[in-house]
Chains A and B, each alone.
Chain A
Amino acid sequence: MTKPLLSIEGLTKAYPGVVANEDVSFDIHPGEVHALLGENGAGKSTLVKMIYGLVKPDSGTMHLHGKPYSPTEPSDARRHGVAMVFQHFSLFDALTVAENVALGMETPPTMRTLAARIRDVSETYGLPLDPGRTVGDLSAGERQRVEIIRCLLQDPRLLIMDEPTSVLTPQEVAILFETLRKLTSEGVAILYISHKLEEIRTLCDRATVLRRGRNVGTCDPAQTTAQAMAEMMVGSAFASPAKRDTAPGRPRLTLDALGVRAPSAFGTSLKDVSLTLHAGEILGIGGVAGNGQDELLAALSGELLVPADALRLDDSPIGRLPPQARRDLGLFSAPEERLGHAAAPDMSLTENTLLTGTARQDLSQRGFLDWPRARGFAEKVIGAFDVRTPGPETAARALSGGNLQKFVIGREMAHDPEVLVVNQPTWGVDAAAAAFIRQALMDLAARGAAILVISQDLDELMQISDRFAALNAGRLSDIHPTADLSTEQVGLMMGGAHDMEVAHV
């Protein structure tokens, strides 16, 4: 075996109340793709932030090329040849591609030279990109290219990638993997963070698994089953939700050529979206982030008003109805962002029940609030959905992601919705909570509710939905029964190929 590029020994980092990393050790070798695997909250981010100089470890050492390495800040890490592609939070929408790249470099050349070099690198690695474009107008895949090129221009020896495929279609993933293989053949090491087992098995040479901040083992992913890795990651086996027989009921919610103008400058407008949602079914809407998911949820929840007839519930037009009026008719929704959208972070769980429950749960009479009733309802949700919290007076922000998500989804489900729309129901949620939420959604459908699940997690959609469609640039693909779909077809749908027959030629 070659000499390790980076070796990590006994890294520990504690935050008040939680140990993010405890005594983590492993080596990364030149030319390998090393996976860092773990659930949300397992300590992956903290670990890479220490390698990238954003966080200082409490104890432990790192060696780069055999020499002690303790980056004080990201620029220090970059000087040592360590580069990082972030999952999100590292691009500037209003700036151009070239300016974004320049910001990630220590000593950028003049803009003109830089633009030329960006073109060069993007051609070499098969990542086409125009340096003069504004980043806010780019697709998720293109945005990621900006980050990758930003790193490549500095000739990194170690490239850290944080969940790079979560924003890509299967086809784009294939392109990315080719780029990464090309890099490793040049001797670059890649630290690849993910919780998607299949892609790790395809791409990575070795995998280090973190659980609750500890290294629970290193394995060869090609030789290990996904099941075994999942058990290492989670610590115990999970029962996946049971598939159920579907007997589609009567149509409940109809979208008829729904068009919505994006409310924000860098949003995506919906164009001509039509679908019919039946009682008792789960319709999954896939697609890469930023293709109109938020706008679709907003149009359905009533945050965005649409032409009355574009949206019908049991044949009555509801497009012009505000959120509360839609809830009165039994249409409930849960947005993607828990903190600040589905729930008010600084308000207690009791107060948060009032966001959607005032009418359906009789939490207010003639405008006056019934606090004891609200508290009772919060307690009911907490009990029914196994929300771990000291009590209903706890602020929403104090809950963990998974528990708050259970509360939010549980709150909407406790209203016994006739139609439920959820966006990213298990995003950033630990495996146990995710399984719980998926099962609850399926149970609700089994009781006759019509459910629309918008998600970027394809595995999730394949698992729980009866029919599937994808959003691409604000347009909805044809809708197909999930059982008939292959991965390739799903990829094409996400990529915007509307007529699948042609695509097969």
Chain B
Amino acid sequence: MDLSAINPTLLLASLIVASTPILLAAIGELVVERAGVLNLGVEGMMITGAICGFAIAVNTGSPFVGFVAAALGGAVLALLFGFLTQFALANQVASGLALTLFGLGLSALLGQGYQGIKPPPTRALDIPVLSDLPIVGPILFSHDLMVYLALALVAAVWAMLKYTRLGLILRAVGENHDAAHALGYKVVRVRLLAILFGGACAGLGGAYLSLVRVPQWTEGMTAGYGWIALALVVFASWKAGRVLLGAWLFGGISVLQLNLQPTGIPIPAEYLSMSPYLITILVLVIMSGDKSRAPGSLGRMFHASE
């Protein structure tokens, strides 16, 4: 066993990178759930984003355009979910599962011919002075734009929920849709917007996987990240700040186990690969005691009966 092969600075830097896809997907889903909708299709939207982003980036040569396409792809898929649950009033659990199964199939189909290609690189920012700082520089200030965008998104969602009227309305709709309707708020419209936002975020998260983290396209490459993002929202008790914490925790674990695998540590690689999923279960168990934070209308069907 040789643990000296692990460089703590690089480990922390790659933790930030590894946490970004789940962070993006989770912050989107957090907004969706705060609006009272449970979208179990995160995995499907993520992988659709992963292939949309990858294919467009490869074809245009621009990762930026790729990310935009990924957000659009995720949002379009989310729109299907929105249509099913908000207009056709279908069961949210079933619709979310349908979205995931559909997304996996769709991405596999779109991904024909993109296996084994390298995407155009997403360049890391080189911030004068800051990036050159020892230790802090590589950990905090040498990432690509998406990392900072994800962090900014968390801050924005946090501020939006806490301080803005839009955030208040969103929380009201998620807390009690009948009351929100009685006060004249457009429940379905608010929820659709939240669902679209969630889809775009999941799409970005997926594209970050295929364009930066891995970076290449393989079928089923999200490997449960979307589901972990869902678990993160529970872990975070529907609070934006804690999503960040949770994402770092999972980023840390997945990076650590990857780094441990070649060190000759006497734990088989398969068991190390299980660890993020087992930790997710453990975290869910610990956090399940406090259900009171869940939005009151989460997962319930709304039909304005007049």
Query: So, do A and B actually touch in the complex, CB under 8 Å?
Result: yes
Query: Interface residues, chain A, CB within 8 Å of chain B?
Result: 15, 49, 53-55, 73-75, 78, 86, 89-95, 99, 102-104, 108, 265
Is A90 a contact partner of B175 (Cβ separation < 8 A)?
A: no
Please tell me if the beta carbons of A49 and B296 are within 8 angstroms of each other in the complex. no
CB atoms of A54 and B172 under 8 A apart? no
**Which residues in A have their C-beta under 8 angstroms from that of B165?**
102, 108
The answer, among A78, A92, A108, for a CB contact under 8 Å with B175, is A92
Interchain CA distance A90-B176 in the complex, whole Å: 8
16 A-B pairs within 8 Å (CB atoms) are namely A49-B306, A53-B184, A54-B306, A74-B182, A74-B184, A90-B183, A92-B175, A92-B176, A93-B296, A94-B171, A94-B296, A95-B175, A99-B168, A102-B165, A103-B169, A265-B292
Extra inter-chain contacts (13) besides given A73-B184, A89-B179, A94-B175, CB under 8 Å? A53-B184, A74-B184, A75-B184, A89-B182, A91-B179, A92-B176, A92-B296, A93-B176, A94-B295, A95-B168, A95-B171, A99-B172, A265-B292
Q: Which residues of B (261-306) have their CB < 8 Å from a CB of A?
A: 292, 295-296, 306
**Cα of A15 to Cα of B169 in the assembled complex, Å:** 30
Q: A54-B184, A265-B292 are in contact. Are A93 and B175 (CB under 8 A)?
A: yes
One of B176, B183, B292, B295 near A104 (C-beta < 8 A): B183
> A34 → chain B, closest Cβ, in Å?
22
CB-defined contacts of A86 to chain B, threshold 8 Å: 179, 182
CA–CA, A86 and B182, complex, Å: 9
Interface of chain B residues 136 through 184 with chain A (CB within 8 A): 165, 168-169, 171-172, 175-176, 178-180, 182-184
The answer to whether A92 touches B179, judged by C-beta atoms less than 8 angstroms apart, is yes
B290 to chain A, nearest CB (A): 10
Rounded to whole angstroms, the CA-CA distance of A15 and B306 in the bound complex is: 10
Q: A344 vs B169: C-alpha distance in the bound complex, in angstroms?
A: 33
Q: For the complex, what is the distance from the CA of A78 to the CA of B182, rounded to whole Å? A: 12
- What A residues does B306 contact at CB under 8 A? 15, 49, 54-55
What size tier do the contact residues of chain B reach? Answer: 10 to 19
Does B292 lie within 8 Å of A92, measured CB to CB? no
| Contact of B176 with A91 in the complex, beta carbons under 8 Å | yes
Instruction: Give the A-binding residues of B (Cβ under 8 A).
Output: 165, 168-169, 171-172, 175-176, 178-180, 182-185, 292, 295-296, 306
Chain B, Cβ-Cβ closest to A107: B165
**Chain B residues closer than 8 Å to A92, beta-carbon distance:** 171-172, 175-176, 179-180, 296
Contact B296 A90 (CB under 8 A): no
Chain A residue contacts of B168, Cβ below 8 A: 95, 99, 102-103
Q: B168 → chain A, closest Cβ, in Å?
A: 6
Q: Enumerate chain B residues within 8 angstroms of A91, measured Cβ to Cβ.
A: 176, 179
Residue of A nearest to B306 (CB): A55
Across the two chains, which residue of chain A brings its CB closest to B295?
A94
Instruction: Decide if B182 touches A95 in the complex (CB within 8 Å).
Output: no
- Complex CA distance for A89 and B169, rounded to whole angstroms: 16
Q: How far is the CA of A102 from the CA of B166 in the complex (A)?
A: 12
Determine if A90 and B184 form an interchain contact, defined as CB atoms under 8 angstroms apart.
Answer: no
Chain B minimum-CB-distance residue to A94 = B175
Pairs A-B, 7 closest by C-beta atoms: A74-B184, A265-B292, A92-B175, A90-B179, A89-B178, A73-B184, A90-B182
Residues of B near A49 (CB, < 8 A) are 306
Complex interface: chain A residues within 8 A of B184 (CB): 53-54, 73-75, 78
Q: Which of B179, B182, B295, B296 touches A54 (beta carbons < 8 Å)?
A: B182
Query: A54 contacts which chain B residues (CB < 8 A)?
Result: 182, 184, 306
Shortest CB–CB separation between residue B101 and chain A, in angstroms? 27
Given known pairs A54-B306, A89-B178, A92-B172, the reply for A103 and B296 (CB within 8 Å) is no
Expressed in whole angstroms, the Cα–Cα distance for A74 and B178 within the complex equals 14
Which single residue of chain A is at the shortest CB-CB distance from B294? A94
Bound Cα distance from A303 to B3, whole angstroms: 56
- Knowing A89-B178, A108-B165, A265-B292, the reply to whether A95 touches B183 (Cβ < 8 A) is no
A13 to B148, CA, bound (A): 55
Point out the residues of chain B lying under 8 angstroms from A99, CB to CB: 168, 171-172
Q: What separation, in Å, do the CA atoms of A367 and B68 have in the docked complex? A: 59
Q: A49-B306, A54-B306, A93-B296 are in contact. Are A103 and B172 (CB under 8 A)?
A: yes
- Find chain A residues with CB under 8 A from B185 CB: 103
Inter-chain CA distance A252–B292, complex, in Å, is 38
Give A51 to B296 CA distance when docked, in angstroms: 29
Closest chain B residue to A99, Cβ basis: B168
Distance between Cα atoms of A75 and B184 in the complex (Å): 6
* A19: min CB distance to chain B, Å: 14
